[in-house]
């Protein structure tokens, strides 16, 4: 697939030198529910530089999609302000919409139009002259490897091709920033990796991208900085490496034993460098801030209490361990 391109301004030399393209002040959204007010977003402060690839992570119900909605003018804040290219999104939403491209979770392509027509009419909707819109549609088809499907109806496309077309369409009017709300949800791993490459190319060419995702490895691979949200608040903000270093990211050592792992738990908790221990049936999960020698000591302690270790694995510090340490482990609908 050819490298897609964008006409966005080039990125600055380093994140620290970037002027904020997207900025929020005490961004808040409260919904009225049957059981009283629900604070979906609670005073979020963000500053995203031009050319930055920024990720929003959080469990279900954390406020990610509501935040994206307010940044893209589709959700009106209860309190606070959003600025895009210095424009107040609430005071002038039309001007903000001209400067952003949005790819939602669901397929919003026009099923009554061909692939080419989806690109052409999107550009026309944003005021691009007809001749320029035709040229832009042709250009995007080539650069997103969709030229051979130009006359296809969108319902004929696979999930991966439809996602590529949605991204191409969002860029048809040459926005300054691209918003992606879980763009790789529900597609196969190979297609997901291809989309990662596409987004990385767009980022290298200077496009500002804001991504929400449930895939922690996706955020780790693509994002310059990440904000972790839960219950409407930002719990942590920084580069992936910084978050792993400063927010309690541990090496996770798991042992499968031939008995009740709880019998090993007190001894495991006493090992130097161990921060937390979880026992579940025959599985012991150990979180170690300093993992050197911990696995060997765990095997010795297991033997001392009469447990045979059938299997063992060690997972180095990752965004997953940061995420779980900040947001907890309970399942959420």
Domain ranges of the chain: 15-244, 250-316
> With 80 as the cut, is the pLDDT of residue 60 above it?
yes
pLDDT digits (tens, 9 = 90+) for 24-37: 999 999 999 888 89
pLDDT value of position 12: 38
pTM: 0.78
> With 50 as the cut, is the pLDDT of residue 15 above it?
no
Distance, in Å, from the CA atom of 183 to the CA atom of 117, rounded to the nearest integer, reads: 22
Q: Cα–chain-centroid distance for residue 92?
A: 27
* HSE of 319, CA atoms in CB hemisphere, 13 A: 25
Question: Which residues 6+ apart lie within 8 Å of 139 measured at CB?
Answer: 5
Give me the percent of the chain exceeding a pLDDT of 90. Answer: 72
Q: How do 233-238 and 225-230 pair as beta strands?
A: antiparallel
Sign of CA dihedral 163, 165, 166, 170: positive
Sign of CA dihedral 166, 168, 174, 179: positive
pLDDT value of position 245: 77
Distance, in Å, from the CA atom of 263 to the CA atom of 308, rounded to the nearest integer, reads: 12
* Mean pLDDT over the full length of the chain: 89
pLDDT value of position 252: 85
pLDDT digits (tens, 9 = 90+) for 274-333: 988 989 999 998 988 888 899 999 999 999 999 999 999 988 777 887 887 787 654 344
The string of DSSP codes covering 217-270 is HHHHHH-SEEEEEETTEEEEEE-HHHHHHHTT--EEEEEEESS-GGGTHHHHHT
Helix/strand/coil percent split, the chain, to 5: 35, 30, 35
pLDDT value of position 269: 94
pLDDT value of position 188: 84
As a residue count, the chain comes to 333
> With 70 as the cut, is the pLDDT of residue 13 above it?
no
- Helix (H, G, I), strand (E, B), or coil: what is residue 279? strand
pLDDT value of position 295: 93
pLDDT value of position 18: 52
Closest CA to 255 of 301, 304, 316: 301
pLDDT digits (tens, 9 = 90+) for 105-148: 889 999 999 999 999 999 999 999 999 999 999 999 999 999 99
> With 50 as the cut, is the pLDDT of residue 174 above it?
yes
pLDDT value of position 114: 98
pLDDT digits (tens, 9 = 90+) for 86-100: 999 999 999 999 999
pLDDT value of position 134: 98
pLDDT value of position 8: 42
pLDDT value of position 61: 87
Distance, in Å, from the CA atom of 144 to the CA atom of 168, rounded to the nearest integer, reads: 7
For residues 52-78, give the mean pLDDT.
94
* CATH among 3.30.450.20, 3.40.30.10, 3.40.50.300, 3.40.190.10 for 15-244: 3.40.50.300
* HSE of 45, CA atoms in CB hemisphere, 13 A: 3
pLDDT value of position 262: 94
Distance, in Å, from the CA atom of 149 to the CA atom of 140, rounded to the nearest integer, reads: 12
> With 70 as the cut, is the pLDDT of residue 220 above it?
yes
Query: Do 15-244 and 250-316 fold alike per CATH?
Result: no
What residue has token string 């900085």?
Answer: 225
Protein fold of 250-316: Alpha-Beta Plaits (3.30.70)
Confidence class for position 248, pLDDT limits 50, 70, 90: low
pLDDT value of position 249: 63
Question: Which residues 6+ apart lie within 8 Å of 135 measured at CB?
Answer: none
């Amino acid at each position: 697939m050819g490298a897609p391109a964008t006409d966005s301004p080039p990125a600055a030399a380093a994140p620290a030198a970037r002027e904020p393209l997207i900025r929020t002040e005490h961004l808040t959204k409260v919904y009225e529910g049957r059981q009283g007010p629900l604070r979906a977003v609670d005073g979020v402060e963000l500053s995203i530089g031009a050319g930055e690839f920024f990720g929003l992570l959080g469990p279900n119900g954390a406020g990610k999609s509501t935040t994206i909605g307010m940044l893209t003018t589709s959700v009106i804040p209860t309190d606070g302000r959003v600025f895009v290219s210095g424009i107040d999104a609430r005071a002038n939403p039309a001007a903000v919409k001209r400067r952003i491209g949005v790819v939602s979770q669901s397929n919003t392509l026009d099923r009554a139009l061909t692939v080419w027509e989806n690109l052409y009419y999107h550009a026309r909707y944003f005021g691009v002259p007809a001749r320029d819109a035709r040229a832009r549609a042709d250009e995007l088809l080539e650069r997103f490897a969709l030229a051979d499907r130009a006359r296809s109806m969108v319902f004929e496309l696979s999930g991966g091709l439809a996602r590529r077309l949605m991204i191409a369409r969002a860029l048809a009017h040459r926005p300054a920033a691209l918003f992606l709300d879980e763009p790789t949800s529900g597609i196969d791993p190979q297609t997901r990796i291809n989309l990662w490459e596409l987004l990385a190319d767009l980022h290298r060419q200077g496009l500002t991208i804001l991504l929400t995702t449930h895939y922690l490895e996706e955020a780790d691979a693509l994002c310059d900085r990440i904000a972790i949200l839960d219950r409407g608040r930002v719990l942590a903000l920084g580069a992936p490496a910084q978050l792993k270093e400063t927010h309690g990211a541990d090496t996770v050592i798991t042992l499968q034993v031939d008995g009740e792992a709880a019998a090993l738990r007190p001894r495991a908790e006493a090992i130097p460098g161990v921060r937390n221990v979880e026992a579940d049936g025959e599985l012991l999960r150990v979180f170690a801030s300093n993992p050197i020698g911990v696995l060997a000591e765990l095997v010795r302690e297991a033997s001392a209490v009469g447990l045979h270790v059938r299997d063992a694995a060690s997972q180095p510090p990752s965004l997953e361990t940061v995420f779980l340490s900040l947001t907890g482990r309970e399942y959420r609908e």
